[in-house]
Amino acid sequence: MPDLIYNLEAVRQRIATAAHTAGRDARSVMLLAVSKTFPAEDVRAAHAAGQREFGENYVQEALAKIESLADLRASLEWHFIGPLQSNKTRPVAEHFDWVHSVDRLKIAQRLSEQRPANLPPLNVCLQVNVSGEASKSGVGVAEAVEVAQEIAALPKLNLRGLMSIPEPAGDIDAQRAPHRQLRELFERLRDDGLELDTLSMGMSSDLEAAVLEGATIVRVGTAIFGARDYAH
């Protein structure tokens, strides 16, 4: 998998360049390698190249991968980033370190109740629909403040910040606008007293725009693992 190693390095370089432009330390941006649809062996190869944080979207696929990489569990961090139905929260609460896609209070309450007592609180982000599109998941900007306060009060969750998946946009200025909106909301929540440290935004095609607007986690799949084939 020489491509994978090369791609990882190229993505790290893109993050470093964008961070430099923004006057930020590149170490303040975590690269989350989104391994959905790719086999456990690719995750193992990326791990061997120093990558530790991986993102998955589909519960069953992720559980199989986590199990086949159980020998590496202590040095892997698993992030759930896909749409989460309430009947699938238990295995996510039991097997993941982070959930980025909490988009309503009910999901957060279930994750908190189902998080095993022997594990540290589950790190979560509130997913916000910044592009204002009815078809996308995420709470609206207007409800976000109240929902964030309620989630922050749950005992077995650690509300770390906000996540968004904006509409794809062509040029960097258009890409920056929704990321800026998320950052402004993040700052408002911090002014309200919430101790947040995470802005999960930016993917393969817009990670520079996200880093310029303050992303602390960029979620990158295609640029590392290649194009996804959903046929299998």
Tokens (6 digits) for 3? 């491509």
Q: Is residue 114 involved in binding ligand PLP (CB under 6 A)? A: no
Q: Which lies closer to ligand PLP via its Cβ, residue 149 or residue 214?
A: 214
Among 29, 165, 209, 215, which residue sits at the site for ligand PLP (rule: CB under 6 A)?
Answer: 165
Q: Is residue 131 involved in binding ligand PLP (CB under 6 A)? A: no
Among 81, 162, 196, 212, which residue sits at the site for ligand PLP (rule: CB under 6 A)?
Answer: 81
Q: Is residue 8 involved in binding ligand PLP (CB under 6 A)? A: no
Residue 98 CB, shortest distance to ligand PLP, in Å, is 12
Q: Is residue 222 involved in binding ligand PLP (CB under 6 A)? A: yes
Asked if 18 and 211 touch (Cβ cutoff 8 Å), the reply is: yes
How many CA within 13 A on the CB side of residue 155?
Answer: 6
Q: Is residue 219 involved in binding ligand PLP (CB under 6 A)? A: yes
Q: Which residue's Cβ lies closest to ligand PLP? A: 221
Q: Is residue 221 involved in binding ligand PLP (CB under 6 A)? A: yes
Q: Which lies closer to ligand PLP via its Cβ, residue 71 or residue 171?
A: 171
Mapping DSSP onto H, E and C, the string for the chain reads CHHHHHHHHHHHHHHHHHHHHHCCCHHHCEEEEECCCCCHHHHHHHHHCCCCEEEECCHHHHHHHHHHCHHHHHHCEEEECCCCCHHHHHHHHHHCCEEEEECCHHHHHHHHHHCCCCCCCEEEEEEECCCCCCCCCCECHHHHHHHHHHHHCCCCEEEEEEECCCCCCCCHHHHHHHHHHHHHHHHHHHHCCCCCCEEECCCCCCHHHHHHCCCCEEEECHHHHCCCCCCC
Q: Which lies closer to ligand PLP via its Cβ, residue 158 or residue 204?
A: 204
* Contact pattern from residue 55 through residue 74 relative to ligand PLP, giving x for each residue in contact according to CB under 6 A and a dash for the rest: --x-----------------
How many whole angstroms separate alpha carbon 65 and alpha carbon 70? Answer: 9
Q: Is residue 28 involved in binding ligand PLP (CB under 6 A)? A: no
Size of the site for ligand PLP (CB under 6 A): 14
Q: Is residue 185 involved in binding ligand PLP (CB under 6 A)? A: no
Q: Is residue 212 involved in binding ligand PLP (CB under 6 A)? A: no
Binding residues (CB under 6 A) for ligand PLP: these are: 34, 36, 57, 81-82, 165, 203-205, 219-223
